[in-house]
Structure 1
Amino acid sequence: MNKVFQGLEKQHGRFSKAWKTALALLGLVVFLLPLGARAATDIIKEIHVERRGGGAAESASVLAFVSAKVGDEINRNVIAKDVKSLQKSERFSYVETKVERVASGYSLTFVVDPKLRIRRLEIVGADYLGNKKVRELLELGAGDIADDATIAAHALKVHESYHKKYFPETKLTWTITPVTGMDVADVRIEVREGARATVKEINFVGNDHVSARQLRRAMKQQREWWLSFITDDGTYNPDDVATDREALRRAYLDRGYLDVEVSELTVRPAGKKGLSVDAQITEGAPYHVSGVSCTGVTKFAEQDVLAALRLQVGELAAMTNLERNAQIIRDYYGARGYIRTGVDININTDTHQHTAAIVYGVREGLLSSIRNIRIRGNTRTKDKVIRRELTVSPGELFNEVRVRNSQKRLQNMGYFKFVDVTPLSTSKTNEYDLAVDVEEDRTGQFMVGAGFSSIDSLVGFMELSQGNFDLFNWPYFTGGGQKLKLRLQGGSTRRDVDLSFVEPYFLDHRLLLGVDLYQHDSFYYSTEYNQKDTGGRLTLGQPLGGFDRLNYIYGLDSFNIYDVSTNASTLIQQEAGARVKSSFTLELVHDSRDKVFVPTSGNRTSFSAQLAGGPLGGDTDEYGFQARSTQFFPLWFDHVLNVRGQMAVVDSYGSSDRVPLFDRLFLGGPQTLRGFKYREVGPTDGAPNYEPIGGQSMAFASAEYTLPIVEKVRLAGFYDVGMSWQDAYYFNFSHLNSDVGLGIRLDFPGFPIQLDYAWPIHADDFNNHPSGRFSFSIGYVY
């Protein structure tokens, strides 16, 4: 029996193992079947497009922005991205999705509300500008989006145009009428122009010590006058009126009136179409400085800081001067490495004595150094071109004054739209990185034009220039800080070709290398002959520090006097033919002008000595000296006084018995004595032709006063005086030519125009008291 049970137990064991295996397989199948079913049912089976609120929608315009496709696995992230893509297309004002389970998968529906498009645009009410002009300004038409945001954005140009025409209250309203069953709408825009306004009067009450004229000049809002059609003065601008209250207060503070009060400016009608701007002023009394002191000064002796100030006891407590001296204290610290020093101006007034004790509260900065200099944003200009203009270096004290000067140097290069130089904090509190951020500007220029000059009549020109040239950067040739210019010029009286190249840092040193090649064929010098000049210059310029430079110039030129009239004098006929001139010039230049083009302050002075022939070879043995200087004085309200003068002497030596015609000294014309014909001031060859032959000594001076009328337009009044004498080193100031005149300056970059009319005051015997003259020229001479 026991054996029987034992056999049954063995069979049962084998049976149990088989069942366990079967059950495990069955469980695996049961587990995998749902997974397979789930995978099959997570598929997108269909995609639909519906319009919100019902109705058909154009599927292609929606699906073009959708990445989900039939057969893809359903994915919430993909669907979310598709919704964002539809929203960014700006074609739909509403986007939504619906996901529904269908047999063996999902149905994906995009519900959209397409933005309406303009079918018809109607404009009414634009009586002044005209409905057609408003339509052009809106830049809207059939097919454009018709919603409030779009129309409002396009309406800004209409508002700006009306504002320029003195309509400050113009309003635009519109209605959008959808077309049933279509994605289009009819748009009707109504223009309400409002009244045209100009400021006829600006009145002040209480201005006993500052004139109304001085106060009006301090304001942005100006009144109408006879040149308003050019200047736009008189256009009412509420924003300007709002800020002019502080401008008037500032005008008094800058005159020491520290207690001044200015009321809110009021605007009222003046006449039928005019406005009056009125201001009530309580001046008080002017204050004078009774004492100057500093607080918070611990790094330096207080008397040393005060000694740097330019503020004296007894002078007017003018706010501009107080602020200027606060900057002097900041610079005192900043130049010694104490960056971010703050200075507060505390004014303690004595209302009885009308005096002010000035206390400068100093918040001393931390002595810091420069760790690294980071240059950012220079996509074309090489790093080294920027770094060589910086006057600070890594490892030095953080000199804020030099950093500010470095920023100005970079701005004056003309390579960048934007320059910002700022300190960046590092892991050390007393160490900063200097960030130099720039935004590249266009430095290449191609100009084609034509003009008329009183010297050379009708002239056309073509000019190609690159102010940030790089001779070795193929194929772009930009970014190296070099300058290249090619100019072709031709007309009825001249044919010129000029090519110039400048490397400001020759061999990576502060040594300027200049190469100039030219050919000038001139028919306007004289009615008796023509002159053709061909040659070149090689210049090495060495900076001497500050604003000074020493130039070494070698020139090799060929001068050809040809087509000499048979009626010309013997003196002129003997000049006929070609001569070679080999010369060396030493020139010292000082240039502290604030700007090269249309300066308002500073000085440019040059002294030069030239030797030609002799050991240098050529056909011309001569020498000469020249001194030129021009000074700009900034006056009130952007007025500028320019005083310039010139003296020169030229003489022959060695084998040359005379100074050739092409090197003699002439005056007269748009660039010198404007009341006289070109080159006709000075000696002539006598009867019967009286042809100008120039002199060997010359002196000239001019004073010109300019004032701005509108942007890039200035009026000028001037006085010129000078003479050219026949002999070298002969100056007879009792025999001078002079004139006085008026002019207009059109300060167009690259194409400045000078229009003048001058009346002679004194004339030499050769000119026989000529009448007034009009002159027109391109370019200014400084």
Structure 2
Amino acid sequence: MSSFQRVLTAAIFCVITGVAMIGASAPVHAQATQAAQSQPLRQILVQGNQRVEADTVLSYLLLQPGVPVDARSVNLSIQTLFATGLFSDVRIENRGDVVVIYVQENPIINRVILEGNRAVDDDAINEEIQAQPRAIFTRARVQADVQRIIEVYRRAGRFAAQVTPRIVELPQNRVDLVFEISEGPVTGVRRVNFIGNDSFSDRTLRRELVTVESRWWRFFSTNDNYDPDRLEYDRELLRQFYQNQGFADFRTVSAVAELTPDQEDFYITFTLDEGDIYTFGDVSVETELPDVDPERLVQYLSVRSGELFQGELIEESVDTLNFAVGATGYAFVNIVPNISRNREDRTVDVVFEIEEGPRVYIERIDIVGNTRTLDHVIRRELELVEGDAFNRSLIDRSQGRVRRLGFFEEVEITEVQGSSPDRARLQVAVTEQPTGELAFGAGFSSTDAFLIDLSISERNLRGRGQFLRFRIAASSRREQIDIRFTEPRFLDRNLAAGVDIFSVRSDFITEASFETQSTGFSLRAGFPTTRSTNLGLQYTLRTDDVVVFAGANQALRNQAGSRVTSVMNYTLRWDRVDNPIEPTRGFRAEVAQSFAGIGGDVRFVSTEITASVYRPLFWNFVGSLNLNSGFIMGWGGDSVRINDRFFRGGNSFRGFEIAGIGPRVVVRDTTTGRLRGGDALGGRFYAIGTAEMSFPLPLPEQYGVRGSLFTDFGTLGLLDDDDLIAEATPGSAFTTDDLSLRVSSGLSIFWDSPFGPVRFDLAEALVNETYDRTEFFRFSTRTGF
């Protein structure tokens, strides 16, 4: 064997021997380590704690004396101590049979200070954040509170708000937590645009939204601030509007808010898919409940085959079926309207399926977020109380009723599991909004000249839901001061009650050589009789002073003096229009009667009837027919005083001046035989109709200009015998009372200008008497600031 082979053999032998020795010694070392780890724990020490007791720290540990320490128990103990939020640092050191827990406690918050918040008060922010005095300070909670404060400002329309947290260290491991707030400008809504709306103009759709465009005179409004939650509600309002116009397939494709380049406002764009107009097809009710006749239930439905599809009629029908089936003894039913569209003939078939549902009762109703409004103001709008059967349709209706109060930005009713499977809790969450208003108004018209209007109102007085308004208005023809108070739920019933105190001076010198001063008060009450009808009752006690000026004839001089009027009246209203401001479909009707003579010096009975019908014609043209009539008569030997008679003209009969038609003191021209008119006397009977077609003008929609073609027709007259003066001699004054027909026709233009609504009327009297007072042009405007 060569020397090289001997060296190589020796080296290999040494490697093999070393590996063998390492392999033999490894188990021995492992056994020693295992023996050390399996040694029972004798003692646990806690160090670094100041406020937290050592026993409290030990209670969170998975380590116990007498039990060996392992890595899993150590890791879980550290995680548990961190999860308490009491400590900013935790370390565990293993010293054989002794374990030492090192902790560093989180500081205690001494004060929470808000700096820089002017638009949002401290209470509104403190309700949202978790940081409170004497609470534990953690950086994670502070960062979460920063996001909450930013969200509060976003809801207030300030998307540029920034919040910087800062701590001020104090003795005894305490800190002052300071939120430095930079509010930034209010982010308004510069423009609301619509894409895909072929059937309705942008202006019409904007009226359906809660969100409004920012204007300089809306400084008391918060709905002109961009709010993402409000935007979602607007999408739902659009859906309801379109579905009530027959667009069963309507959907809002998107609602996008884009910040303007100057970072001050948003452009909001709704992209719409209108779809086609549908009518109701087959309508039926299906149920397997005994003692329930489906064919009989169909008769109670608001849905009728062949009529225009309206989503609200389906909801009304569900409510009706709930009531009808409940009357037969089934308090727990599920009513599901199954809708199937026939796209070829554009009809919607509706099948109302009724089945008995699980028995669930409402255990409790919680109301949260009402920092100002009292609980009972909200509860009385709910159509359920504790102990009632759970009813989804009543819950949805209750949410809508609370939202319609106008006191809250947001309203949401959610269901929470109760103490047992057959119990449920309801949580009504609301967000308050300002309800007070200081309004200044100014205007000009061809009749009243310059006018001013100042009012201070509160719609939710002291959080009780009451309405209070003080108003002063003055013009060249009228001066008025009044105070109005309304309790919407008198005696906690669905009964609105109120009182008015007023003083009104009216000037009819130009038209009839007299003026009146009325001072008094009214007591009123009103309540709904059905979902679309309302009954109002009112008692008025007033003093009327009639001053007749020199030169008036004997018929007017007899009216001078002061009398006390005690009058009781009722008003029954029936309203089924689709839009209360600009109706395009439906009808309205109203009957009002007054009875004077329960005390006082005046005795009369008065009746007035009004009816209006609206129908869409073509494109965006809407046709309407309005009819109104009134009759008043004295009783007990009394005649009707001039201040209680009807005067018509101006806005009530275009083409004629105020008090431009009806009985009048006239003089016959001895040369031509024509009658020349003098003072108007009013009348005890009138009947006036208006046929009108409204349409958008061919101008950019953002100008808000629309027009209408109209024809007014009617009559006014019927004086008492005491007021009739015969023509004594040629050229002498006498009275006319012929109830002759008057007709006018013309064009009206409406403009939603930046300064308020402006109206122009151009009308020509087509049929009139020579003594009537006609006018071709009328102008009026009004604004608030």
Per the normalisation by structure 2, the TM-score is 0.55
Q: 1:561 aligns with which of 542, 546, 558?
A: 546
Q: 1:605 aligns with which of 572, 585, 589?
A: 589
Q: Distance in 1 between the 2:644 and 2:662 partners?
A: 14
Q: Which residue of 1 aligns with 2:436?
A: 444
Task: Determine if the alignment matches structure 1 residue 503 to structure 2 residue 509.
Answer: no
CA contact 1:424–1:432 (8 Å) conserved in 2:
yes
Q: 1:405 aligns with which of 397, 406, 411?
A: 397
What's the offset of the Cα at 1:662? 0.7
SS of the aligned residue for 1:410 comes to helix
Q: 2:468 aligns with which of 470, 477, 484?
A: 484
Task: Determine if the alignment matches structure 1 residue 516 to structure 2 residue 500.
Answer: yes
Q: Which residue of 1 aligns with 2:656?
A: 676
CA contact 2:407–2:435 (8 Å) conserved in 1:
yes
Kindly tell me: are residues 453 and 635 of structure 1, through their superposed partners in 2, closer, same or farther at Cα, counting changes over 3 Å?
A: same
Q: 2:682 aligns with which of 694, 715, 723?
A: 694
Kindly tell me: are residues 733 and 432 of structure 1, through their superposed partners in 2, closer, same or farther at Cα, counting changes over 3 Å?
A: farther
Q: Which residue of 1 aligns with 2:522?
A: 537
What's the offset of the Cα at 1:408? 2.7
Q: 2:763 aligns with which of 759, 762, 771?
A: 759
CA contact 2:366–2:428 (8 Å) conserved in 1:
yes
What's the offset of the Cα at 1:365? 5.4
Q: How does 1:452-467 map to 2 (within 5 A)?
A: 452-467=444-459
What's the offset of the Cα at 1:555? 1.7
SS of the aligned residue for 1:616 comes to coil
CA contact 2:508–2:515 (8 Å) conserved in 1:
yes
What's the offset of the Cα at 1:341? 6.4
**Residue deviations 1:386-421, cap 9 Å, x none?**
222222333222333333333332232222222223
What's the offset of the Cα at 1:771? 5.3
Task: Determine if the alignment matches structure 1 residue 662 to structure 2 residue 643.
Answer: yes
Q: Distance in 1 between the 2:609 and 2:457 partners?
A: 30
What's the offset of the Cα at 1:359? 8.6
Q: 1:735 aligns with which of 741, 755, 759?
A: 741
What's the offset of the Cα at 1:669? 0.9
Q: How does 1:145-184 map to 2 (within 5 A)?
A: none
Q: Which residue of 2 aligns with 1:621?
A: 603
Kindly tell me: are residues 339 and 690 of structure 1, through their superposed partners in 2, closer, same or farther at Cα, counting changes over 3 Å?
A: same
Kindly tell me: are residues 508 and 216 of structure 1, through their superposed partners in 2, closer, same or farther at Cα, counting changes over 3 Å?
A: closer
Q: How does 1:298-447 map to 2 (within 5 A)?
A: 307=298, 332=321, 366-447=358-439
Q: Which residue of 2 aligns with 1:205?
A: none
What's the offset of the Cα at 1:221? 14
Q: Distance in 1 between the 2:575 and 2:334 partners?
A: 32
CA contact 1:421–1:436 (8 Å) conserved in 2:
yes
SS of the aligned residue for 1:394 comes to coil
Residue identity over aligned pairs, in percent, reads 24
Kindly tell me: are residues 393 and 593 of structure 1, through their superposed partners in 2, closer, same or farther at Cα, counting changes over 3 Å?
A: farther
Q: Distance in 2 between the 1:545 and 1:379 partners?
A: 33
Q: Distance in 2 between the 1:582 and 1:460 partners?
A: 30
Q: Distance in 1 between the 2:453 and 2:277 partners?
A: 58
Q: 1:584 aligns with which of 547, 568, 574?
A: 568
What's the offset of the Cα at 1:445? 0.9
What's the offset of the Cα at 1:288? 12
Q: How does 1:82-93 map to 2 (within 5 A)?
A: none
Kindly tell me: are residues 326 and 580 of structure 1, through their superposed partners in 2, closer, same or farther at Cα, counting changes over 3 Å?
A: closer
Q: Distance in 2 between the 1:529 and 1:139 partners?
A: 61
Kindly tell me: are residues 401 and 767 of structure 1, through their superposed partners in 2, closer, same or farther at Cα, counting changes over 3 Å?
A: farther
Kindly tell me: are residues 605 and 342 of structure 1, through their superposed partners in 2, closer, same or farther at Cα, counting changes over 3 Å?
A: closer
CA contact 2:657–2:775 (8 Å) conserved in 1:
no
**Residue deviations 1:665-694, cap 9 Å, x none?**
111112x11221112121111126522111
- Partner amino acid for 2:682? G
Kindly tell me: are residues 755 and 426 of structure 1, through their superposed partners in 2, closer, same or farther at Cα, counting changes over 3 Å?
A: same
Kindly tell me: are residues 700 and 401 of structure 1, through their superposed partners in 2, closer, same or farther at Cα, counting changes over 3 Å?
A: farther
What's the offset of the Cα at 1:754? 5.2
Q: Distance in 1 between the 2:203 and 2:577 partners?
A: 31
Q: Distance in 2 between the 1:521 and 1:345 partners?
A: 58
Kindly tell me: are residues 684 and 479 of structure 1, through their superposed partners in 2, closer, same or farther at Cα, counting changes over 3 Å?
A: same
Q: Distance in 2 between the 1:545 and 1:290 partners?
A: 27
Give the structure, 1 or 2, with the largest relative contact order (CA under 8 Å, sep 6 or more): 2
What's the offset of the Cα at 1:496? 1.4
Task: Determine if the alignment matches structure 1 residue 646 to structure 2 residue 638.
Answer: no
Q: Distance in 2 between the 1:721 and 1:466 partners?
A: 41
- Partner amino acid for 1:682? G
Kindly tell me: are residues 304 and 354 of structure 1, through their superposed partners in 2, closer, same or farther at Cα, counting changes over 3 Å?
A: closer
CA contact 1:673–1:739 (8 Å) conserved in 2:
no
Kindly tell me: are residues 529 and 455 of structure 1, through their superposed partners in 2, closer, same or farther at Cα, counting changes over 3 Å?
A: same
Q: Distance in 2 between the 1:610 and 1:356 partners?
A: 46
Q: Which residue of 2 aligns with 1:227?
A: none
CA contact 2:496–2:526 (8 Å) conserved in 1:
yes
Task: Determine if the alignment matches structure 1 residue 775 to structure 2 residue 779.
Answer: yes
CA contact 1:594–1:601 (8 Å) conserved in 2:
yes
Q: Distance in 2 between the 1:678 and 1:429 partners?
A: 69
Q: Which residue of 2 aligns with 1:685?
A: 665
Q: Distance in 2 between the 1:407 and 1:215 partners?
A: 29
CA contact 1:674–1:775 (8 Å) conserved in 2:
no
Counting matched residue pairs gives 534
What's the offset of the Cα at 1:482? 1.6
Q: Distance in 1 between the 2:489 and 2:477 partners?
A: 38
Q: Distance in 1 between the 2:634 and 2:695 partners?
A: 44
**Residue deviations 1:128-163, cap 9 Å, x none?**
xxxxxxxxxx999xxxxxxxxxxxx999999x99xx
SS of the aligned residue for 1:553 comes to strand
CA contact 2:661–2:773 (8 Å) conserved in 1:
no
What's the offset of the Cα at 1:497? 0.5
CA contact 2:416–2:425 (8 Å) conserved in 1:
yes
Q: Distance in 2 between the 1:403 and 1:695 partners?
A: 52
Q: Distance in 2 between the 1:553 and 1:288 partners?
A: 42
**Residue deviations 1:566-613, cap 9 Å, x none?**
232222233333332222224434445566555566554332332323
Kindly tell me: are residues 542 and 742 of structure 1, through their superposed partners in 2, closer, same or farther at Cα, counting changes over 3 Å?
A: closer
CA contact 1:607–1:627 (8 Å) conserved in 2:
yes
What's the offset of the Cα at 1:510? 3.6
Once the two structures are overlaid, the 10-residue window that deviates more, 576-585 or 478-487, is 576-585
What's the offset of the Cα at 1:305? 10
- Partner amino acid for 2:364? N
Kindly tell me: are residues 345 and 488 of structure 1, through their superposed partners in 2, closer, same or farther at Cα, counting changes over 3 Å?
A: closer
SS of the aligned residue for 1:398 comes to coil
- Unaligned ranges ≥5, structure 1: 1-34, 37-66, 68-73, 86-137, 141-152, 167-198, 203-213, 223-230, 232-242, 259-282, 470-477
- Partner amino acid for 2:599? L
Once the two structures are overlaid, the 10-residue window that deviates more, 382-391 or 502-511, is 502-511
Q: Distance in 2 between the 1:287 and 1:775 partners?
A: 41
What's the offset of the Cα at 1:622? 2.6
Kindly tell me: are residues 392 and 215 of structure 1, through their superposed partners in 2, closer, same or farther at Cα, counting changes over 3 Å?
A: closer
